[in-house]
Amino acid sequence: MKNITIARMSAFVFFIAVWLQIPSFAISRDDYQRAEKLRETYSNKVFKKTIQPNWFDENQKFWYRNNFKEGKEFILVDCRQGTRGPAFDHQRLAEALSTVLSKTYVGQNLPFDTIELLEGGKILQFDLEGRRWRFGLETYECLTPGGEALAEQKQEPEQPQRPRQRNRRPWQNNNISPDKAWEAVTKEHNLYLKSTQDSREFRISHDGDPNHYYGWPSWSPDSKTIVAYRIRPGENKPVHRIESSPRDGGRALLHFNNYLLPGDRYDILEMNLFSTETKERTKVDDQPWDAFGVPRIRWAKDGKSFLFEHRYRSHQRLAVVRVDVATGKSSVIIDERSETFVNINYNPVEPQHLQDTDEIIWSSERDGWLHLYLYDSKAGQFKNQITKGNWIVREIVRVDEKARTIEFKASGMEADRDPYYIQYYRIGFDGSGLVCLTPGHGTHSVQFSPDRSVLIDTYSRVDMPPVHELRKADNGDLICELEKADAEELFKAGWRGPEPFCAKGRDGKTDIWGVIWRPRTLDESKKYPIIEDIYAGPQDSFVPKSWRDYDSNQALAELGFVVVQCDGMGTRNRSKGFHDVCWKNLADAGLPDRILWIKAAAAKYAYMDIERVGIFGTSAGGQSSTGAVLFHPEFYKVAVSSCGCHDNRMDKSYWNEQWMGYPVGPHYEQQSNITNAGKLQGHLLLMVGELDDNVPPESTFRLADALIKAKKEFELVVLPGAGHTSGDWFGNRKRWDFFVRHLLGEQTPAWNAATP
């Protein structure tokens, strides 16, 4: 009787699956292994993806090597003539080399990887079998019979390895004066001058104490003035982590590091000027302030004034301040303000200080888009806006002060294209002469010739392999086509790339861009669960735009999913309004846009099952993926969250205060995953590395505690010895297993069973 009941239940489940067109996947170890080996399957199957130029002949010629499955070729480009072709007759050289060395060589696989072209390209030189060879390229006669012995490389004695040091920032402690006469020393909380000639010392500050000490000196170029700070220390509270399984065994270890959380008290800085001649102190009048990083001092050439950036902790104001050394009086040169936030921490467009002309090229979103502005830093006056339009500057590449032009990266300028594609432009300081240097349809990277007269433009898309072109660097005109990447072998291996997809966001007007990965064995008559890969950190945008031979999301799709990724509102690299959605609103994570985007994709592709949607992410993506199932349970049914920042009060201050605001308000608690744990309806897997020093592990543990108190079911995986991570191979398998069980409704492989 029991067997009959089971048979009836099985038949019923089968009928429902057929009726709903749910594919019946039998997930096995082999399926996992095929997905896991996809990177290996796709490796070394795309050729001519990159060009490595080797310049010669006054930078007007270069050669590069193309590698193929069974050989290589050397290409010569003449920039003056606009020609590209073989650097020499490969087969003829192979025959000549075979005669000289009494071996058999073939032109498509010569036994060297690098060459030199001498005398304007008339002589080919290369190293082979420990000797240097030269062949004339008119007759292919060997000019060095027997080859020339290579000079022996002197073996340097092995140096003991030193601990790796971080690059020293130019605004960190600069204790020695430019004239090498003095050293600034902090002793007994005060600032002293110590002579480098006779070790005499002079105390030049007198109000230092255990609660107010002096530090961070910066010397004027004439060595007559020191800028130093009287510092009131802020809170220095630790975050603790337990290492349960030390490699050398023994008891568990306690680790800790000082870690500022939102709202913690920062150091308070007072800026002071000290004269090395009179030993007198002058207080700068623009103070004191929370030490949101120690300002970088930019001295005028005459040492009579300097500039610094005053970064307000509220992140709603950023000022460039000039200080007069004689009086200590400050004046604001640039005053950047916002009712939401000024992107102080994550603006990739660094200000350019032009010392010779006393000008600053400044970036601002004041007109709603990230653009460049020109200021007279000496007069303290705005001169003109340099770039303008409904697009953004992404990075300043080079400033030519003599020609008064700027080379920069931008995106969104070209109509009817993905607005995230990066292209290169040039413009004059006055905003005139804007020219696109890289017009191809895709996202670009550039290699300039050493004299910057030409550039190699490489562009691609997620669905188009790289294209390489040689262009003039002054106007972007095409000189000649170089290469198109050869992906034929990859396509033969069954490669299926992602599809770029665009749909409207929550306002019904704004385009949301993303990509879709499908199984290689897609059957459009069936229904496939959807999994979203999310990272919604406002510091950037995250959807891939350039070609990739392999993507881990394609491997996940191989198990029977459609995997998607998009950049919703609240992320960077669009308009200021697009970005501002995150302001005091990180729980939003662009999820309203993402849901509409996925629904639009499912409306176009009937095989996408809108009733079975999962989501996963790490770090800020861990916060957002959990938030998805808490705040949008009607749409997201399954989530896997790794090392999530589940409460913005428990993560690093500078990141969270930038977007959530300062001081800490009630919205921090209202948006916390921990506060909202009781809203869980779907399936949730939490993973955390016990030694995470990026997002404190207690963020995940406290969420687990809140879920338990709310009597919610969930899974928790703690990774011993791991830091800030998605879990490596084990975490990947747990993530795949969780989606297979809860979205596909299939049993996962019995991993503990004996394998053949």
pLDDT digits (tens, 9 = 90+) for 469-490: 999 999 999 999 999 999 999 9
DSSP for residue 677: G
As to burial, measured by CB atoms within 10 angstroms (0-12 exposed, 13-18 middle, 19+ buried), residue 32 is buried
Element (H, E) at 642: strand 638-642
Average pLDDT over residues 325-345: 96
Residue 164 pLDDT greater than 50, yes or no: no
484, 488, 489, 491: CA torsion to nearest 10: 120
pLDDT per residue over 69-97, tens digit each? 989 999 999 999 999 999 999 999 999 99
Please tell me the predicted confidence (pLDDT) of residue 717: 98
Per-residue pLDDT band at 162 (split at 50, 70, 90)? very low
Q: pTM of the prediction?
A: 0.92
Q: How many residues would you count in the chain?
A: 756
| Of the candidate ranges 148-162, 405-419, 545-559, the one whose mean pLDDT is the lowest | 148-162
| Token code pair at residue 91 | 């087969």
Measure the CA–CA gap between 133 and 111, rounded to whole angstroms.
12
Average pLDDT over residues 431-441: 98
Please tell me the predicted confidence (pLDDT) of residue 204: 94
Average pLDDT over residues 730-738: 98
Residue 191 pLDDT greater than 60, yes or no: yes
| Of the candidate ranges 12-26, 599-613, 664-678, the one whose mean pLDDT is the lowest | 12-26
- Residue spans of the domains in the chain: they are 2-36+500-542+559-726+739-744, 54-148, 170-337
Average pLDDT over residues 587-593: 98
Measured at the CA of 680, the angle between CA 675 and CA 684, to 5 degrees, comes to 110
Tell which CATH classification among 3.40.50.2300, 3.40.50.1820, 3.40.50.150, 3.30.1280.10 matches the domain 2-36+500-542+559-726+739-744. 3.40.50.1820
Average pLDDT over residues 451-461: 98
Could you tell me which residues come within 8 angstroms of residue 704 by beta carbon, excluding any fewer than 6 positions away? 686, 714, 716
Measure the CA–CA gap between 647 and 651, rounded to whole angstroms.
7
Residue spans of alpha helices (H) in 452-494 = 488-492
Per-residue pLDDT band at 567 (split at 50, 70, 90)? very high
Mean pLDDT, the chain, whole residue set: 93
Distance of CA 89 to the CA centre of its chain: 43
Q: Are strands 608-618 and 528-533 parallel, antiparallel or unpaired?
A: parallel
Per-residue pLDDT band at 756 (split at 50, 70, 90)? low
| Token code pair at residue 551 | 């993507």
Helices 591-604 and 620-631 cross at an angle (nearest 10°) of 70
Average pLDDT over residues 144-163: 65
Phi, psi of 15 (to 5 degrees): -65, -45
Measure the CA–CA gap between 459 and 440, rounded to whole angstroms.
7
Question: Same CATH fold, 170-337 and 2-36+500-542+559-726+739-744?
Answer: no
Average pLDDT over residues 282-306: 88
Residue 221 φ/ψ region, left for φ over 0, alpha for ψ in the -120 to 50 degree band, beta for the rest: alpha
Please tell me the predicted confidence (pLDDT) of residue 155: 53
- Asked if 614 and 743 count as a contact pair (C-beta separation under 8 A), the reply is yes
Q: Which residue has the tokens 């700068």?
A: 284
- Asked if 429 and 386 count as a contact pair (C-beta separation under 8 A), the reply is yes
Residue spans of alpha helices (H) in 150-252 = none
DSSP for residue 261: P
Distance of CA 469 to the CA centre of its chain: 25
Q: Determine the topology of domain 170-337 in CATH.
A: Methanol Dehydrogenase; Chain A (2.140.10)
- Asked if 545 and 443 count as a contact pair (C-beta separation under 8 A), the reply is yes
Residue 434 pLDDT greater than 70, yes or no: yes
DSSP 434-456: -EES--SSSEEEEEE-TTSSEEE
End-to-end CA distance of the chain: 36
CB count in 10 Å sphere of residue 41 = 15
pLDDT per residue over 650-691, tens digit each? 999 999 999 999 999 999 999 999 999 999 999 999 999 999
Per-residue pLDDT band at 172 (split at 50, 70, 90)? very low
